[in-house]
Structure 1
Amino acid sequence: MTSDVRELQPAPQRSPSTAWPATRALLLRLHFYAGILVAPFLLVAATTGLLYAASFQLEKVVHAHELTAPPPPAGQAPLPLARQIAAARQAHPQGTIGAVRPASEPGETTQVLLDAEGLPESTRLAVFVDPYTGQVRGVLPSYGSSGALPVRAWISGFHRHLHLGEPGRLYSELAAGWLWVVALGGVVLWLSHRRRTLRPGRKAQGLRRTLSWHGSVGLWITVGLLFLSATGLTWSSYAGANVDKLQTALGWSTPSLPATTGGHAGHAGHGDGPAAEVDADRIVRAAAGAGLSGPLEIAWPAKAGGAFTVKEMDRQVPQRNDQVAVDPGSGQVTGELRFDDFPLGAKLTRWGIDGHMGVLFGLANQIVLAALALSLITMIILGYRMWWQRRPTRGFAAPYARGGWRAAPVPVLLAVGVAAIAVGVLVPLLGISLLAFLVVDVVLGRVKSRS
């Protein structure tokens, strides 16, 4: 009966004394809606993200035969890259050479990446060659710049779009867009709680115990959730496009290697001519003379006679991401792109993406991502448990009235409105769903009061 009377009461008059309660009512209502309606998307993203965090180690186990080679006899030198490439081409003459990733240490295989017809977008055929015997250890599709092999590529696609294509990307964009709102809103609500604590209450029982665990766990992982939200939006369809425009406007775009502008590995036909017979070891030596060290990728030019691009592929800290262009005729370095010369924004983007992918700090990065995913899953489960423990059939009065946030002072509402519009323009799915939540809340409040 108390909750019914509370729902029927008109919104209080706007005054300084009611400013915070009304604002808190807005945060509570948004947190509630996000917890009930958006949490399923977050749960899927966290579960698939947990799986992706383990995919790097899983890839090493599942594809160990292709990735590794028997240790060579002591003192034996690897075969010239040209012979390794020839062995790969003899075993698989279809397609054209797009790039080569030489083995960076004993026990690894060299990867010869071929562009072939019928492969999905951003996918190449990787031929794995024993660098000491020239034996082909296997052939697998390789996805993206990170060279994800089938098991990791499948998990990555499952995390990004549930293997539903472009429509499936909307789920991850909605989850990433709301994640930071839920995280920051939870922090504000925790700060406004009279019994806030950094640790879960040991003596609390029932609903208070669940709330204590939910708030404490959420507080400890807030920074990590904000990081995942910001970096996750860079891959999204609509928000990602806006982020790209913003980076361009601020001059934060990733620069290109001047000598290779207009040419890019991955175009059919560029590995069939004389360029395919180039002395790859000579190109590696030229890159080493410019300060590059393994692991490396040698990208074939788009046209015969063009410059080869040699890239450092080490994404761990300290990162080695320098690039040079090498003329195949003279063996001279004709262009350089140093990671140290990247704009700060481009560096932050690179670090953020690599951290989100779990490669910035190697295994430690993957463990942290797994811990974040498990904590977020725990948070969501505790949130639904609170909702169940506080359900109206158990006699609990709602801690907020529908539409009660309308009692907030006009300046507060204007500020919230402007911020919502700005965020909605940058992250459209968040803006649309936020507007829908507020409209539903107002309508339900009016319907309840009239009934």
Structure 2
Amino acid sequence: MSRRTDELPQNDHDPTDAAPDGRATDEPTTDGPPAAGPSPDAPAPGGPDRPAKTESGQPRSARSWEAVRHLLVRLHFYAGVLVAPFLLVAALTGLAYTFTPQLDQLVYGDQLRVEKVGDEPLPLAEQIAAARAAYPEGTTASVITPPDPEDTTRVVLSVPELDDKQRTVFVDPYTAEVRGELTTWSGSTPLTTWLDDLHRNLHLGDTGRLYSEVAASWLWVAVAGGLVLWLGRSRGRRARSARGVLLPDRAARGVRRTRSRHAAAGVWLALGLLFLSATGLTWSNYAGERFGRLLDAANGNAPALDTALPGAEAPAEDHSEHAEHGGSGQAKADAYPADFEAALAAARDAGLGGTVVITPPADAASAWVVAQNDNVWPVHYDRVAVDTSSGEITSRTRWADHPVLNKLSKLGVQGHMGVLFGVVNQIVLAAVAIGLTAVIVWGYRMWWQRRPTRADRPALAGKAPERGAWRRLPLPVLILGIPAVAALGWALPVLGVTLAGFLVVDVVAGALRRRRSA
């Protein structure tokens, strides 16, 4: 009778093999040669040179580089079992968010799209006046010009009762007909906002954001560990061939077939998953704050646009309630539609094409801001400060002048959101999300297939890989690894805290098991 599955040595990505029916077994397989028997010169069992024993009764070897692999097996196992639910939720909610452009058109098509009439739209001031006549409450926070000829102009209103959200009025640029209004957040429709909150925090606020940061923090660990284990296999010719790495083994059965599908899919998805992990961390709560410090230290932030008007004095703190309107707008009174028109004309003359966001000044001493908002590659993010009283450009920042770190961060976020390369970007993200879901399902199936099958020792899943590998790590790995892990825990606080939690649970579980055995 075969030994129980949970007594087998853990020495591969999925350390156990499987019989054709999928049950665990310790019979030799075609993956490589069978394990060698004991050496004739080995000390007798129980002798003075008997090596220490592992939990499963196997001899524990001295320090070796093989212990690094054993430690990675255990880390990858726990990352898969404990963090995979977070990754699965992130994959499914991210998949839904990927198609928000199409969903918006389906749900809000009447507000977002119009039929092109004529060659030129009406003056912007006339469109804004129509929006304000239909919705006079609040003040005009910004105006967004249509991205395409069939899109509406968006007049964004700041309404006190909406808190951090806005009321966006959609206007037909050719007829000045108001097509409707929506409560938006940072320019996103209610549906997109709802799906975005679902993906980021499960509608649980800042507490819920921990789930997505756990997923992003551990995703790269699971991917990198899986790659090292799969590419570092030492058994069989298949492990040394490109086909053996990139394609699943169709001749395998049971847990080995599932493992080959899990690993091969992970290789294909690795680059996309690492990209999503890195870009997701840049705007997470805790790792994002660390990333902000890095940008500050490396002077990697976007150049600031100087909005102060030359020669203008900052307004006194006690503002008059009915201050006289000036060419640059003012803090409390609503800006004139004509000033939006003047700011747009000056920006167009300065070379800002495509869709732009026009924002009135905060006070009479500040300039208007016109910023390009073209997120599709090649992106356009130039900004200008405009004095509408004279039509002059008082300051300008160019996308070409942004630091490399800022560019990578900005483009990474747009790629993560699926807008950088249009439909192609959406398709790639959808494929990665579906692939990650399949990898997770295969991982849990492996865990179930590796369960003990003896009638007297039933179990719902396989045993975790052997603990204690860190004690056998080479000294150079310990000397360099401990400071590296500490630094990583500082840079990614959620990863550090959860890893420490895993270690505490693991130590406690090991102590309880030893106590029961004693």
TM (norm. structure 2) is 0.80
* Structure 1 stretch displaced more, 38-47 or 395-404: 395-404
- 1:31 corresponding residue in structure 2: 76
Q: CA deviation at 1:447?
A: 3.6
Return the structure number with greater helix share.
1
Q: Counterparts in 2 of 1:26-105, with a 5 A limit?
A: 26-72=71-117, 74-75=118-119, 77-105=120-148
Partner-residue secondary structure (3-state), 1:335: strand
Q: CA deviation at 1:21?
A: 2.0
Residues 328-378 of structure 1 show CA distances to partners (whole Å, capped at 9, x for unaligned) of: 100111111000000111111111111111111111111111111111111
Give the Cα separation in 1 of the matches to 2:274 and 2:485.
18
How many pairs were matched up?
A: 439
Structure 2 CA distance for partners of 1:277 and 1:399, relative to 1, 3 Å: closer
Letter in 2 for 1:133: T
Give the Cα separation in 2 of the matches to 1:342 and 1:6.
56
Q: CA deviation at 1:274?
A: 6.9
- 1:383 corresponding residue in structure 2: 443
Structure 2 CA distance for partners of 1:11 and 1:167, relative to 1, 3 Å: farther
- 1:371 corresponding residue in structure 2: 431
Q: Does 1:221 align with 2:221?
A: no
Q: Does 1:315 align with 2:375?
A: yes
Residues 130-155 of structure 1 show CA distances to partners (whole Å, capped at 9, x for unaligned) of: 112111100002222xx211111110
- 1:148 corresponding residue in structure 2: 188
Structure 2 CA distance for partners of 1:154 and 1:330, relative to 1, 3 Å: same
- 1:294 corresponding residue in structure 2: 354
TM (norm. structure 1) is 0.92
- 1:404 corresponding residue in structure 2: 469
Structure 2 CA distance for partners of 1:399 and 1:40, relative to 1, 3 Å: closer
Q: CA deviation at 1:400?
A: 3.4
Give the Cα separation in 2 of the matches to 1:304 and 1:84.
24
Contact in 2 for aligned 1:402/1:444 (Cα 8 Å): no
Q: Does 1:7 align with 2:55?
A: yes
| Aligned match for 1:259, one of 274, 290, 307 | 307
Q: Does 1:126 align with 2:145?
A: no
Residues 190-235 of structure 1 show CA distances to partners (whole Å, capped at 9, x for unaligned) of: 1122343211111111111100000001011111111111110122
Partner-residue secondary structure (3-state), 2:161: coil
Q: CA deviation at 1:398?
A: 5.5
Give the Cα separation in 2 of the matches to 1:161 and 1:270.
37
Q: CA deviation at 1:104?
A: 4.0
Give the Cα separation in 1 of the matches to 2:229 and 2:464.
12
Q: Does 1:232 align with 2:277?
A: no
Contact in 1 for aligned 2:144/2:153 (Cα 8 Å): yes
Task: Note the residue ranges of structure 1 that are not aligned, 5 or more in a row.
Answer: none
- 1:278 corresponding residue in structure 2: 338
Partner-residue secondary structure (3-state), 1:94: coil
Structure 2 CA distance for partners of 1:338 and 1:175, relative to 1, 3 Å: same
Give the Cα separation in 2 of the matches to 1:415 and 1:270.
58
Give the Cα separation in 1 of the matches to 2:463 and 2:65.
18
Give the Cα separation in 2 of the matches to 1:212 and 1:311.
50
- 2:259 corresponding residue in structure 1: 211
Task: Note the residue ranges of structure 2 that are not aligned, 5 or more in a row.
Answer: 8-52, 240-244, 315-320, 322-328
Structure 2 CA distance for partners of 1:352 and 1:184, relative to 1, 3 Å: same
Q: Does 1:444 align with 2:509?
A: yes
Letter in 1 for 2:98: A
Letter in 2 for 1:52: Y
